[in-house]
A and B are shown apart, each in its own frame.
Chain A
């Protein structure tokens, strides 16, 4: 009896000592690599978050493993809110212990998240934060989209040369760094070309009434309305411009490319031009063709710009982890900073040490309730 007890104790003690030694080898074989995702799934810019999440999920279904280990995605909703974005990143870092983060969709909220991931030395890849400030003096944040200094200039050139605009009115959402930044890049470039920004009016995210801002536009005799805002505001501005009998062309930016723009804008957005990241007609890489087919098959809708960039954020991050061969933050960061000509869904992506991608943009026009591809603008 006693012997049996001693024997049992010895065996169990032996196991307790050995177990931790076995654990790493057991888990390393198949322990998932956790990647955090924080996106606006609700709130004013929910369309971006939901489209990017769909793109990320489809990309994950296509390539669910890296380094022979499964990838596990952890999604936190940042509710289109800066404070919630910081909370989301803090949760991903502390509670979920993720190795890398994808997010967020808008510039202001990405900046709120970056402050924390930078300190934790966890790399972050944003699908669509286009404001140059997002990556400035930051070591661990990257993006797979073009930046607004390029976008603003491209819009100005298109407005001046193709639309023959000379006097432009702008309505800007003051609550978003993206909108304010883009408006100033556009103004700088447009003035340099010889045009004039004749009126700038402001609004706030979530505003519904723009009649006061629009009423003062005809007096300025502008021949183009530039709206560097998100889709909900732009759709309502376009509608109210139509109601007030303001018949000048509208040029918008990548933040307007959501189905809601057309659903809410109706006939008022017919003929609206916008600069965007991606058009199925312009997709050229093998991955793009493969992804678009897969997306159509699994989700029953066409790939849009935000689907493509969500997918690209995932693919680029996965590619970096593969090249790093390890999952510590610094190794992934170094690999991300040397992304040379990765053939993504939205085109060939080259990311420099500054964290920014150099890419071309496309010009789309709304016609017949669809975004139609007009032309491509290459970076200079």
Chain B
């Protein structure tokens, strides 16, 4: 949860007076609120935390971070099935590590 993940804005719309974007996080697509970064545009990258864009990020930094997170299994931790992770607490990522 502490993790803030860079993502690329695919699409922007307004709903209930709120600016929302569809954001791609290395293949996982989520809805993100743009109220704290209202001038973010389609094609740009931002640091996103719990569904909110918090700061613009350059493309190269965003790509590098996403690669690192994927490699470390952190995207799985952020976007994977939390119930499954909770059911096997410890076992899930310990097992992942053991396979490396």
The yes or no verdict on A and B being binding partners is: no
Interface residues of A (CB under 8 A from B): none
Interface residues of B (CB under 8 A from A): none
